[in-house]
Structure 1
Amino acid sequence: MSKYNAKKVIVTADGTLFEEWLIKKYNLDVTGIRFDSKMEGEYYQELLMLKQLGEIKDFVCQPKYILQESPKVTYIADFLVTDLDGSQRVIDIKGVETATFRVKLKLFLLKYPTLPIEILVKRRGEFIPTQQAKKERADRKRAINKLVKRAEGEIKNVRTGRNKSQIYRNQK
């Protein structure tokens, strides 16, 4: 397990996902690509399926980019996907967005401005951009706060013995 509680997995060539601890526990002989998290392994399975369906041309796992020569700073993305039209995009699967990643992302965007990068997170069984996930989280929090304020207001009104018509007349 990593420091962010991500379970390491191995995905075989046919797309079967095995958690690393099960392989060790039962002394299984499994060959495949090792991923640092289950989400990465699941996205790899999705890319395999997209390639078989002919929706993408190809993909590469863990491409390495040199962001700075001295001192040497490298960034290893999760995937480099080549679309049918030949365009490429970098995909990174994140469970936790660290400060180190944010710095490397800024360096990546400066050094490779024409290469688009997508940072994805898995929510409710599908991979979505992190910006969308953050927006959904903020909207949910706003809605909850609104409900809490409304409930607190109604509790306050019950305590004071005023009903809605009295409150409405007092506001005029």
Structure 2
Amino acid sequence: MRLNSEDIGKITNPIVKKQLTDAMSKLNIKVKKKSKMGNIRTTLLINEKKINFDSKFEAEHYKELLVRERAGQIKDLKLQPSFVVIPEQFHDGKKLSKKIYKGDFQYIENGRTVVVDTKGFKTEVYEIKKRLFLKEFPDIIFKEVFKEVRRATR
């Protein structure tokens, strides 16, 4: 029998749920969590190093960027670059944490920094963080790469 996080989530009795998760933990059984966007999490083995990606689409784009880097078209390829789009601040004596935009990739192309975000679809939070990023970092080239959605035709 195979269980995923959805199956465990359907268990309504909290005692049974805890017993099940504890038993699985003792047996070192890991439950695959479904990603919040329904993506298939993907792991690539690059130079004997495992690299995890939030989606198969993101992993495929990384492989394309590696080819471009090896061909000398881009350089300094980095994963998951972070940018502070709203600094830490205080309001009414309370500390408000900084807000970060995290891209999927960053590299140098023709002497300019490029940040890439791969998307299956846009969310409202993503749109807000993107606009804050564009305002705070106008000298960085921002690229969005969208997954082609195949739709059934009638």
Both proteins in one fold, TM over 0.5: yes
Moved over 3 A (4+): none
Residue 96, structure 1, aligned to residue 121, structure 2:
yes
C-alpha offsets along residues 123-147 of structure 1, whole Å, 9 cap, x if unaligned?
28xxxxxxxxxxxx9xxxxxx9xxx
What is the aligned counterpart of 2:57 among 24, 39, 47?
39
1:77 deviates by 0.3
Mapping of residues 40-119 of structure 1, within 5 Å: 40-69=58-87, 70=89, 71=96, 72-83=98-109, 85-119=110-144
Unaligned runs of 5+ in 2: 1-33, 90-95
- The structure having more radius of gyration, on CA atoms, is 1
1:58 deviates by 2.6
What is the aligned counterpart of 1:12 among 39, 45, 57?
45
Between the aligned partners of 1:118 and 1:74, the Cα distance in structure 2 is 17
Between the aligned partners of 2:116 and 2:140, the Cα distance in structure 1 is 11
Between the aligned partners of 2:63 and 2:135, the Cα distance in structure 1 is 31
1:122 deviates by 2.6
Partner of 2:4: none
Q: Which structure features the higher share of strand residues?
A: 2
SS of 1:32's equivalent in the other structure is strand
C-alpha offsets along residues 15-64 of structure 1, whole Å, 9 cap, x if unaligned?
xxxxxxxxxxxxxxx84111111111001100111111222123111000
Between the aligned partners of 2:43 and 2:72, the Cα distance in structure 1 is 24
Between the aligned partners of 1:68 and 1:74, the Cα distance in structure 2 is 7
SS of 2:85's equivalent in the other structure is strand
The residue identity in structure 1 corresponding to 2:39 is A
Partner of 1:148: none
SS of 2:146's equivalent in the other structure is strand
Mapping of residues 145-164 of structure 1, within 5 Å: none
Q: Contact between 1:4 and 1:96, CA under 8 Å: does it hold in 2?
A: no
The residue identity in structure 2 corresponding to 1:10 is T
1:96 deviates by 1.6
Q: Contact between 1:59 and 1:80, CA under 8 Å: does it hold in 2?
A: yes
What is the RMSD computed on CA atoms of the aligned residues?
Answer: 2.0
Q: Which structure features the higher share of helix residues?
A: 1
Q: Contact between 2:113 and 2:140, CA under 8 Å: does it hold in 1?
A: yes
